[in-house]
Structure 1
């Protein structure tokens, strides 16, 4: 290996010295034990992220898609939940890879696994920009937004957002490869040249973090100025928006920081970069299960709809039990007995 041609992202780190960047055999036992402990810890965290993320985002999709009235807000949030759900659905592949240090799933899934993280990153931050801009327009131009803020328009914007996110995710599909070392198969990123690596890293940082961050800061600044002079019935929507934005940037800042450090690897410790990307990537993945938790604890409308949905299901189940118990076929009578 020469230079950075085969340098890999956080998810390419394979334990037990099976990567191109493994440490030498005379590596201190304490350091090896620390890496092993770190890998086991991150695997456990990712399992939790996967389970809670799939369940939580599945509930959000169910509530927003079938239980709540279709609005512009539900269009934003269901898209965010779909993005997180798709990413969590790919996590089991990465967990298996981290545990076994072997990729048995083939080249296509290798490319898709890596793409899932970046598709989630782009789609999430772009949706946060849309949510921020939407709130800003509502406050700044209430009459115009009332006449032009339509669900169909929001759905069209969401589709365009997904197309843009997919285009920006293409490098993960192009540069992701598999390599066989004896009985072990690796799934790694081969940029072919240092210039390609730098171009991809800077594009991800600028398009997936810096520009969206500046747009969100601008929208939030306008919101803060406008809200001071207005009296609104509820601040819940703005609290949800603020919590989503804050959690995204807290989860992604460490990863983006190490991505920038990775560009000039000669000035930094390779081991530190590898560990930083691995830990930062896990924290970024955690954003996928934080969002539904925020909906439950902050979103009052979502809370009420979720409670009503579960209560109605319990009531229906109880009513069914009473009816099948042969007490009385009439609904009114069975409800009297259940009560």
Structure 2
């Protein structure tokens, strides 16, 4: 079985005192002392994520001129918005330990986190690569860096993200136990392969590509006499926030593969915190657009929508210059 967002499905066939008769340990059972705190945090994530990403979509889609950079940002906002839109179903499941929404929503809601993970990190690869090309090959970039090509890259990104999310859609299912319906994953012997593939393709390789692009940018900018770091602040903040939010989750998922060698309670707690941090990444982007590189009090005195528009417009103007 698999570690999914809101439940821990042990893949071993051995049943011990920590597991139910189905070999499933629900991290977020109603009796858990941490359930209410996690519910509150996820409700905040949902509300802020829906509001903030809606604002970014509205500003980038309707109030600003369509450019390559706005395409990156609006695509990232759409990815985060979709996850936050499905998050309430999982919050209900956290509270009740019962899934009344049917198998279709069981598959979609539980796969939303992985779709968001893949699409977000692939978009960060696109943003990093785009910045790198702009600095290394300014003339070629000016002639070939077009909106249509950016749309094509985003479409390919979504196709690849959906493909890597297919295992979660295929093996996520509902099971009836009396009056209670569980939404869980059963990968069987495929568990280790799925976890490692998800980690390597959806995290390790993209992060290495991002680090390479950022290293090239840092070396190139040092050699420039008149250099400005403004167009790279948002990119750097997005990358760092994604890394900070997802490293704990991947760490404990990898430890869970061979959970018998580790403390089960530590893994359970780590998965709870890791999953919540991973979800928090979905609302951080709008926050970064608003507050990064500016005095906090001065930012609060300005309207939220105009502040985001100014932040992105400044980023675009500097990059174009």
TM (norm. structure 1) is 0.80
Query: What is the Cα deviation at residue 279 of structure 1?
Result: 1.5
Q: Give the distance between the partners of 2:177 and 2:280, measured in 1 at CA.
A: 32
Q: Give a deviation string over 1:307-328, Cα, whole Å, max 9, x none.
A: 2899xxxxxxxxxxxxxxxxxx
Q: 1:146 to 1:51 in 2, by over 3 A?
A: same
The answer to whether 1:262 aligns with 2:262 is no
Q: Give a deviation string over 1:227-258, Cα, whole Å, max 9, x none.
A: 11124564222000000000000000000001
**What is the aligned counterpart of 1:69 among 57, 65, 86?**
65
Q: Give the distance between the partners of 1:247 and 1:308, measured in 2 at CA.
A: 20
Q: Which structure has the larger Rg over C-alpha atoms?
A: 1
Q: 1:161 to 1:65 in 2, by over 3 A?
A: same
Q: 1:309 to 1:237 in 2, by over 3 A?
A: closer
Query: What is the Cα deviation at residue 265 of structure 1?
Result: 1.9
CA contact (8 A) 1:177 1:188 kept: yes
Aligned to 2:146: 150
Query: What is the Cα deviation at residue 20 of structure 1?
Result: 3.9
Query: What is the Cα deviation at residue 22 of structure 1?
Result: 4.4
CA RMSD of aligned residues (A): 2.7
CA contact (8 A) 2:45 2:280 kept: yes
After TM superposition, the structure 1 = structure 2 runs for residues 131-280 of structure 1, keeping only pairs within 5 Å, are 131-193=127-189, 196-232=190-226, 234-280=228-274
CA contact (8 A) 1:137 1:145 kept: yes
Q: Give a deviation string over 1:191-210, Cα, whole Å, max 9, x none.
A: 122xx001100011101111
Q: Give the distance between the partners of 2:120 and 2:307, measured in 1 at CA.
A: 28
The answer to whether 1:9 aligns with 2:4 is yes
Contiguous gaps of at least 5 residues in structure 1: 1-5, 24-31, 311-339
After TM superposition, the structure 1 = structure 2 runs for residues 92-107 of structure 1, keeping only pairs within 5 Å, are 92-107=88-103
CA contact (8 A) 2:172 2:186 kept: yes
Q: How many residues align?
A: 293
CA contact (8 A) 2:5 2:113 kept: no
Q: 1:308 to 1:119 in 2, by over 3 A?
A: closer
